[in-house]
Amino acid sequence: MFEAIPEEKMIREFVRQVARQYDRKYWLAKAREGAFPDELWQEMAAGGYLGMMIPEEHGGGGLGLQQMAVLLEEMGHHGIPLLLLVVGNVMDAGLIARYGSEETKERYLPPLARGDLRFCFALTEPTAGSNSFRIETSAKLDGDSYVLNGQKMFITGVDASDHLLVVARTTAFEEVEDKREGLSLLIVDRHAPGITLQPLEMGVLHPETQFAVYFDDVRVPRSDLIGEEGRGTRYLFDALNPERITAAAVAVGLGRHVLDKAVNYAKERVVFDQPIGTHQGLAHPLAEAKTHLELAAVMTRYAAYLADEGDKLTAGEYANMAKFAAADAATEACDVAIEVHGGSGFSTDVDLLELWPYIRMLRTVPVSREMILNYIGEHVLGLPRSY
Ligand SMILES: Cc1cc2nc3c(=O)[nH]c(=O)nc-3n(C[C@H](O)[C@H](O)[C@H](O)COP(=O)(O)OP(=O)(O)OC[C@H]3O[C@@H](n4cnc5c(N)ncnc54)[C@H](O)[C@@H]3O)c2cc1C
């Protein structure tokens, strides 16, 4: 079984310190303004946490997903989660570090670690949806550059990013024998001519905005291709599994955040001459939510451990199960927390309803419950595929 990581205490202490200054109020103010929390980001860069998973020879800390999961869990616990950390500094940095050329690594990884460059991740398309193999954004080689055309949907934080890591088809779906072939990963300059951003009206309150992104003959230098052309699927799951694990960590942290509020309230609020937490009608759902959250926390840590150990297959299975368990547990915790607060649960002062869409979103994003259950049914249990 896996062991405790030596850096855990230090990471949690760092987040506690940072969250004294850049607390939930700061995060909410940024979210309401639609402004990126630059100060918090720079503080994390200064502490070496943006580059935590970047190899030491490229300016990072050389640590793994277990440490990153602790960081994100603790940020969630303080109510200050950042999705750009997941997509840019876990997924994109990981892909570049693992599959980028030496030149690409040297160009992008040190500034990512310093917080001088930010990256977002663009896979989802309006037509393909969860069926990522059916994406239509195309990248055609023309001389020394690829020409990118297409549309991406729900892309988090493009406006606050310098680059997008785009998944595109270098060979059309109709022209490949195996649907997994023909996908490629490209680093795209956000300010390149031909890129248009359209902000989406989302009901999730957080500082990173979602956008539809349009590519109209966008030129991408060939040197910004990651790995080999057409082999993107082989690389992609080394980003998507870490994404699921870190999303699970965020969910566990946010679940603890809302549960803490509920427990404190249940101890303090007196009705019928005794604290409401005395009633098992509230104490049991709270205890159940706590148990489910901590189960999910262990599952998340185990998935991170397997990924760090390089056990790709099992890590994939556990990444999916951890994300499923953590998102459900956090949603349960938030629902119970609202219930415990009675009418106050619906007041903005209590700051639970603000979190509800975010927590609930984690059941659908980055991969939906149904697609996870499909994966577990097919790949873990060996059941026939239904679709
Ligand atoms: C806040 C937010 C941030 C996001 N950030 C990013 C980002 O930065 N980058 C990015 O690339 N994407 C991002 N996304 C997109 C996100 O990953 C997708 O929304 C998610 O993967 C679901 O895809 P979809 O919305 O196309 O749903 P669809 O694929 O249209 O699915 C709709 C419903 O049908 C179900 N369904 C579909 N197929 C099956 C099946 N075979 N069996 C059973 N059920 C099925 C799904 O589970 C779901 O419940 C973000 C989304 C949101 C809401």
Task: Tell me whether residue 254 is in a domain.
Answer: yes
Q: Express each pLDDT in 309-340 by its tens digit.
A: 998 778 899 999 999 999 999 999 999 999 99
Ligand 1 probe mutation, 246, 364, 378, most atoms within 8 A of CB: 364
Domain range for 134 is 120-230
Q: Is 101 found in the same domain as 17?
A: yes
Strands (DSSP E) contained in 128-245 are: 138-142, 145-156, 163-169, 183-189, 195-199, 210-221, 225-226
Structural domain ending residue among the three candidates 89, 117, 145: 117
Task: Tell me whether residue 3 is in a domain.
Answer: no
Q: Is 181 found in the same domain as 106?
A: no
pLDDT, position 184 = 98
Q: Express each pLDDT in 237-287 by its tens digit.
A: 999 999 999 999 999 999 999 999 999 999 999 999 999 999 999 999 999
CA distance 284 to 290: 10
Task: Tell me whether residue 265 is in a domain.
Answer: yes
Confidence check: pLDDT of 1 > 70: no
Task: Tell me whether residue 385 is in a domain.
Answer: no
CATH code at position 33: 1.10.540.10
Q: Express each pLDDT in 177-223 by its tens digit.
A: 999 999 999 999 999 999 999 999 999 999 999 999 999 999 999 99
CATH code at position 200: 2.40.110.10
| CA–centroid distance, residue 126 to ligand 1 (Å) | 9
What ligand 1 atom has the least distance to the C-alpha of 125? 26
Q: Is 348 found in the same domain as 255?
A: yes
Q: Which helix (H) or strand (E) holds 85?
A: none
Comparing CA positions, the residue from 222, 203, 90, 217 lying closest to residue 154 is: 203
Q: Is 362 found in the same domain as 267?
A: yes
Q: Is 98 found in the same domain as 203?
A: no
Q: Is 68 found in the same domain as 131?
A: no
Task: Tell me whether residue 23 is in a domain.
Answer: yes
Q: Mark out the alpha helices in the chain (DSSP H runs).
A: 8-21, 24-33, 38-46, 65-77, 83-84, 93-99, 102-114, 232-268, 280-308, 312-340, 356-361, 369-375
State the average pLDDT over residues 93-107: 98
Task: Tell me whether residue 1 is in a domain.
Answer: no
Q: For the chain, how far is it from start to end, CA to CA, in angstroms?
A: 36
| CA–centroid distance, residue 373 to ligand 1 (Å) | 14
Query: Structurally, how many domains does the chain consist of?
Result: 3
pLDDT, position 157 = 97
| CA–centroid distance, residue 109 to ligand 1 (Å) | 29
